[in-house]
A = this chain, B = another copy of it.
């Protein structure tokens, strides 16, 4: 295993010079540089990672914190595609910046992340798609470790990137309205989740702006599960007058809703329109193919990575909160509704 010393000896120069060439610093004669490079090639030399990290006091690596549900074999909700899409976006950017990616699952404890950072195993942390404990985040902030969260967290002055749940949700209502729907009902997500809160807020804003009526019977709770969507739909179908369009705040619930509609003898979208949120992989495959909102997962990862790199470089960030627009993808679970009066 050749060291920088071997290269120096072969090239007939000192270690310092080799180091200079390798980190292309100025002030080395072109001729010398050539000799060094030749020696490097001949010995097939690659600088020792640990030695460099030790001296430079940085790891050239970032930690990817993923939900701890990742650890449980075959969890019911395998959201692998969300994770991989986000990671892909982040991966490309980090790799470009010559930063290694270390996979870590969410231990949740401050000590864990602190140790990670203090032992210089990573230069920064990227919390992917989880809602970290605010208390922990607070302490991390005090410790001055660079981190970015993809998703949301209820702490001031932490940089996080998220899909614009509010705006996207608002657009869904406008979309249905434009198609002629006036009796629009909602299946909400769990209200402790930020995503749900924001989506709901968008709905309420649109409803108010459009002067729509929102009876409580049109406003059903759900918990993101298929089953809860089904239940909510059953209640919705008893409302009088019956809604013409349903916006379920995630796809799983939308799928449940479709099932309930079918069980009740209704056809989707002929008798009732349904739109979801997320665009999970099965969305195009269910009957009917689901009209839904696609999250910009790849872009989320890329944006977060860029932000983290900036923070590691010590830049002050202008925007603390970055919201990315989502895309409504029209499939076949929605149809226009003749406007009544």
Report yes or no: A54 in contact with B50, Cβ–Cβ below 8 A. yes
In Å, the complex CA distance between A84 and B103 comes to 12
A318 to B1, CA, bound (A): 29
CA–CA, A255 to B53, complex, Å? 51
- Cβ A73 vs Cβ B287 within 8 A: no
Partner of A78, one of B47, B81, B120, B287: B81
Size band of the A side of the interface? Answer: 35 or more
Answer whether residue A125 sits at the interface, using C-beta atoms and an 8 A cutoff: no
CB distance from A53 to the nearest CB of B (A): 4
- Bound form: Cα–Cα A83–B1 in Å: 33
Residues of B within 8 A of A1 (CB): 118
In the A-B complex, the 10 residue pairs with the closest CB atoms? A80-B84, A50-B53, A50-B54, A80-B81, A46-B115, A101-B103, A46-B119, A49-B121, A80-B80, A49-B119
Taking beta carbons and an 8 Å cutoff, which residues of A are in contact with B? 1, 44, 46-51, 53-54, 59, 61, 64, 70-71, 73-74, 78, 80-81, 83-85, 87-89, 91-92, 95, 100-105, 114-115, 118-121, 255, 281-282, 285-287, 298
- List, sorted by A's number, 10 A–B pairs whose CB atoms are closer than 8 Å: A48-B54, A48-B119, A49-B53, A53-B53, A73-B88, A78-B85, A84-B84, A91-B105, A100-B103, A281-B281
